[in-house]
Structure 1
Amino acid sequence: MKIFARTLFFILVILTSPAISGQEVSPEHISFVRQGVQRMIFNEEQAIPLATLEPGNVVGLQAMHPVTHYSKERAGVSIRGNELVIAAAKETQTGIWFGGFNPFATYVIDLSSVSGNGALGFEFSDAAHKEQFLVTIGFNDTLLTGVNLRVRDAEKVITDRSITVNKEERQPLKGRIILQMLGSGLTLFLQDEGLPRVIGQADFNTHIDLRKKYYLQHFQTRLFAQLNEGEVRIEKAGVEFGTGVGLADIRAITYENGDPLLDRGRLWYTMSVRGRGLPHHLQGVFSLDPTTFDIKFEGVIVFDRGDGLLRNEIASHIFYDRKDKVWRGMTTGFSAYANPEREKKQLLAIESGKDPRFGFSVMNAVPFGMVGDIEDPHIVFDEEVNKWRMLTCENHDGYKAIVLESDHWDRGYRQIAGPVRYNSTGTSIQKIGNTRYCFSGSSERKIFIYTYPDLREAGSLHMDLPPWDATSGTRVWPNVVQLPEGYPFRYVALMMDRLDYPGQQGPHWSYGALYLYHGSEMQLSGKN
């Protein structure tokens, strides 16, 4: 009798299982188990190279990396083994060309040693040196003395000031110098052991707007050395698109109906490469084989509104419109905070005929009237009602999810649902089975699930180890994706935490690490 009862129990369990009975699984009945975590901090293996100066591979220094002397006295510049050596017994200023210029790139010097007295850094200028943007680190007898920013146009010096932060007594100048250019600002790091340390930062948009296409097209990059009885030895220098100090705002790239883009066996994501303040982040593109944790940095995207600037907007949703064979989407105009007296934060419709996932891409961006404290848009074409629908969050005494609807992907949206009760972030629409749901991070230490499109509360996501601790923020991006049949698990979620990078001064949003989860239907037990 016991054997019969046990057999009957298991038959009932099997027959009532959603996968067997044909019932669809509710997202609140999926268990997400953490698989791995990683934080990319100027990850050298992930860097996308733009230019390099490798002394050990130079044949013909003056041809490959022309040297310019700015002073009557000339420093000696030579290759010794695998090092570039700049030395002077008297006061000299020297520039050594090694690449073009991009206002969103990261500039790196691998320093072997310094001695004597002087300064070392990066010079950005046109070929005639009519305009100059100079970031330098001073040193005296191997010790760092400060960080300076100097900006000059054809007529005058606009600014010449210290941008030093976190100054320490008797801090050696050694290791790796990392200059993260942020469009309208910069942060300078020094890395010897452990994490890169912030040693300088500045916002310079009132002095010069390096986001102008003119500077991308005309400025060049030089190593700059000012020496007075000193010597500098450099192992390598480079320009690259880097992973910054953290990654956030993770969203799957999709097709127009919201299905995830699974191309070359990989999922594709937009993530913001984090810098410092609100206008300082960069829209990155990454890919992932969902059966592993092999995140790969593929490219960056900036946005052109037709006014001569390239803007670093973030929190984008990009989709491939198969009907029109074009890449489209929405982005959030955080770059407005670089000029808050002239610009307002708003959503922008974006489009590109070129595949924007690789290298350095520019997407056209057009305002469409959604001005205000609105962010994190996700749009789908709902074929059942022949409408475009957008899930986003708007500041209603805190960011709250809303759903809007339009006959057009890029204009004419009107609100049809929301706002929800709880604070929302990272709003996204995804199918579980054949049913669409809305997901949202929150400040309630939960990831909420809502019905689509009416935003009725439908529970919260179950995770064994959520991407936060007892004290950190919990407004993360859920980013749940359903995989096709044939994978060892049906659901994957890639999330971030909100732990800021240490050492940056003033308000900054410099999180986070990446957390990978695999999801499966909840079971009573793991036993057979």
Structure 2
Amino acid sequence: TYAADDVTPLDITFKRQAVGRFTFDEGSAIPLSGFTPNQVVNLTTEYPQIPITSESCRYTIDGSLLRVTSEKTAESALWMGGFNPFATFDVSFAESQKQSGTAGVEFATPDNQNRVSVVACFDAGQCRSLRWSVLVNGKQLEEKSTNLKNPVRGPFTLRVQLLGTGLNVFIVRNGRNEVVSTHDFSKLIDLREKKHIQSFEFRLLTQLNAGQEIVINQVNAALTTGVGQADICALTYEDGSPLLDNGRLWFTMSVRGRHLPHPLQGVFSLNPSVFDVRLESIIVFDRGDGLLRNEIASHIFYDRNAEQWRGLTVGFSAEGDPQKIEPKQLWAVSSQRDPRFGFTIMKAAKVDMPGGEEDPHIIYDARVQKWRVLVCTKGGPGYPATLYEADHWNGPFKQIAGPVDINSTGCLLQKFGDQYYALFGGKGGHFHVYSYPELNALGALDMDRPPWSEGENSRCWPNVIPLPEGYP
């Protein structure tokens, strides 16, 4: 929308231009490590072999394939890369597995005393089951097998999506991801702990009986778009103006996995004159408690005066904490490093904002020289939008308006011309528009083909972004 001085959000008719749900989008994947057989020059040096039992498997490059064989019962692994508990790990199996065997993804310490694995179990060349195993300090804590409803032959990919405190397992064929198993493991071992992230490694695990063979096409680890996206919030400057950098807008979106506490905080970019959405980074948060956490629903801004990246996030990771010490709450986050690229850690500290719960949006209002936050508060009905203010960006905050009488989601404070407005989603099939700072109801956005169907869940986040002249 061209940022004309006399335009209000109620004056605009929004026309749908494109739609996309990015499911493990390969074009957006941010590589962490990989193994492509025909690109290997020295297998022993590049991908060291790790003995586990007295007998190890034999690994041979055969053109574009890795062949794993053994003349005796054997278990061993190939080092594939470092460990990241928020990444997606793929093992792609070739067409033929001959006399079968077992192989898959393993995360382990070099001494083999701590091992977490998901492997495909073959029988006569067909994957019929998966096996999940957790070994901590040399003690087997869990081992489970899952029979596949539809056994599969190669080529296919075993995909393990790590989500901090849990994981999803997919069988990927012909571009389709079928979830076949899920596990939560933080009560057994919390892989978000920095000591584990620093000590674990990613491996290709193979277990064979005499005469068996496993054939691998490729192995990869990457930060990915997950199974979908939600909670879209534009990155801004401290006054809420859009961060348009190199011709691209930047957004936080939650990278979906299963349910809370599994989503991750992704950063995506988009050229607003076309539809070329791509994943740019994953942000995790450090409270100083030894963990890296996957919070979501963040509003991130660049404070030009402080020359620092700042924001507010929602502590949904509390849902996965084994001890449940900290409740879900708002956290003030900051980073000197630009969080829009790669894998970023932002420091997090508690925010004093009584009642503030979810979906915050923060601005510095220069007219009153105050920081103000529109946020969903806990209370009736549901989580109504409420306005707070503070002298400092990280609080303490006091309530100055609201709550509204609508169960709200996805708060936004946006300036149109010279005036801020408060926008949020909610039930009833509308993106609501309220006055600022009074929070009086003004109406709803006029939308052609909104992102929901009649009678379905309409709890979506509004993103109305004024653009400079020259955009369609």
Instruction: Find the counterpart in structure 2 of residue 231 from structure 1.
Output: 213
Amino acid at match of 1:184: T
Deviation digits for residues 351-383 of structure 1, max 9, x if unmatched? 111111111110000012347671101100001
Instruction: Find the counterpart in structure 2 of residue 391 from structure 1.
Output: 374
Instruction: Find the counterpart in structure 2 of residue 207 from structure 1.
Output: 188
State how far apart, in whole Å, the 2-side matches of 1:368 and 1:465 are. 38
Instruction: Find the counterpart in structure 1 of residue 314 from structure 2.
Output: 332
The alignment partner of 2:305 has SS state of: coil
The alignment partner of 2:94 has SS state of: strand
| Among candidates 96, 113, 116, match of residue 99 of structure 2 | 116
1:266 and 2:232 aligned: no
Instruction: Find the counterpart in structure 2 of residue 461 from structure 1.
Output: 445
1:276 and 2:258 aligned: yes
Provide structure 2 residue ranges, at least 5 long, that are not aligned to the other structure. none
Where does 1:366-377 land on structure 2 (aligned, <5 Å)?
366-370=349-353, 374-377=357-360
Deviation digits for residues 459-516 of structure 1, max 9, x if unmatched? 111111111123531100111101112322xxxxxxxxxxxxxxxxxxxxxxxxxxxx
The alignment partner of 1:279 has SS state of: coil
Where does 1:413-424 land on structure 2 (aligned, <5 Å)?
413-424=397-408
| Among candidates 112, 135, 145, match of residue 129 of structure 1 | 112
1:148 and 2:131 aligned: yes
The alignment partner of 1:307 has SS state of: coil
Distance 1:68 1:155, change over 3 A: closer
State how far apart, in whole Å, the 2-side matches of 1:195 and 1:188 are. 13
State how far apart, in whole Å, the 2-side matches of 1:161 and 1:486 are. 58
The alignment partner of 2:451 has SS state of: coil
Amino acid at match of 1:211: R
Amino acid at match of 2:237: Y
Where does 1:9-408 land on structure 2 (aligned, <5 Å)?
24-113=6-95, 114-162=97-145, 164=146, 167-172=148-153, 174-228=155-209, 229-339=211-321, 341-370=324-353, 374-397=357-380, 398-408=382-392
Q: Is the 8 A contact 2:352 2:397 kept in 1?
A: no
The alignment partner of 1:311 has SS state of: coil
State how far apart, in whole Å, the 2-side matches of 1:384 and 1:74 are. 70
Deviation digits for residues 435-461 of structure 1, max 9, x if unmatched? 111111111111111111111111111
The alignment partner of 1:157 has SS state of: strand
State how far apart, in whole Å, the 1-side matches of 2:413 and 2:5 are. 20
Q: Is the 8 A contact 2:424 2:433 kept in 1?
A: yes
The alignment partner of 1:272 has SS state of: strand
Deviation digits for residues 373-410 of structure 1, max 9, x if unmatched? 71101100001111110001022231110000111110
State how far apart, in whole Å, the 2-side matches of 1:456 and 1:230 are. 71
Percent identity, aligned pairs only, is 45
Amino acid at match of 1:101: F
Amino acid at match of 2:430: K
Where does 1:373-522 land on structure 2 (aligned, <5 Å)?
374-397=357-380, 398-488=382-472
Provide structure 1 residue ranges, at least 5 long, that are not aligned to the other structure. 1-18, 489-528
The alignment partner of 2:149 has SS state of: coil
TM-score normalised over the length of structure 1: 0.85
Give 1:91 deviation, angstroms. Answer: 2.2
Distance 1:404 1:160, change over 3 A: same
State how far apart, in whole Å, the 1-side matches of 2:469 and 2:197 are. 46
Deviation digits for residues 199-224 of structure 1, max 9, x if unmatched? 11100000000001112211111101
Q: Is the 8 A contact 1:346 1:371 kept in 2?
A: no
Give 1:341 deviation, angstroms. Answer: 2.9
CA RMSD of aligned residues (A): 1.7
State how far apart, in whole Å, the 2-side matches of 1:409 and 1:297 are. 28
Q: Is the 8 A contact 1:135 1:150 kept in 2?
A: yes
Deviation digits for residues 135-155 of structure 1, max 9, x if unmatched? 212221233332222111224
Amino acid at match of 2:439: L
User: Which 4+ stretches in 1 moved above 3 angstroms?
Assistant: 169-174, 369-373
Give 1:23 deviation, angstroms. Answer: 7.2
Q: Is the 8 A contact 1:115 1:140 kept in 2?
A: no
Give 1:131 deviation, angstroms. Answer: 1.3
State how far apart, in whole Å, the 1-side matches of 2:45 and 2:130 are. 31
Give 1:173 deviation, angstroms. Answer: 5.5
Give 1:94 deviation, angstroms. Answer: 1.9
State how far apart, in whole Å, the 2-side matches of 1:170 and 1:251 are. 41
State how far apart, in whole Å, the 2-side matches of 1:173 and 1:190 are. 11
- The number of residues matched between the two structures is 466
Amino acid at match of 1:191: V
Amino acid at match of 2:198: Q
The alignment partner of 1:319 has SS state of: strand
The alignment partner of 1:63 has SS state of: helix
State how far apart, in whole Å, the 2-side matches of 1:148 and 1:370 are. 46
State how far apart, in whole Å, the 2-side matches of 1:139 and 1:240 are. 26
Q: Is the 8 A contact 1:250 1:272 kept in 2?
A: yes
The alignment partner of 2:351 has SS state of: strand
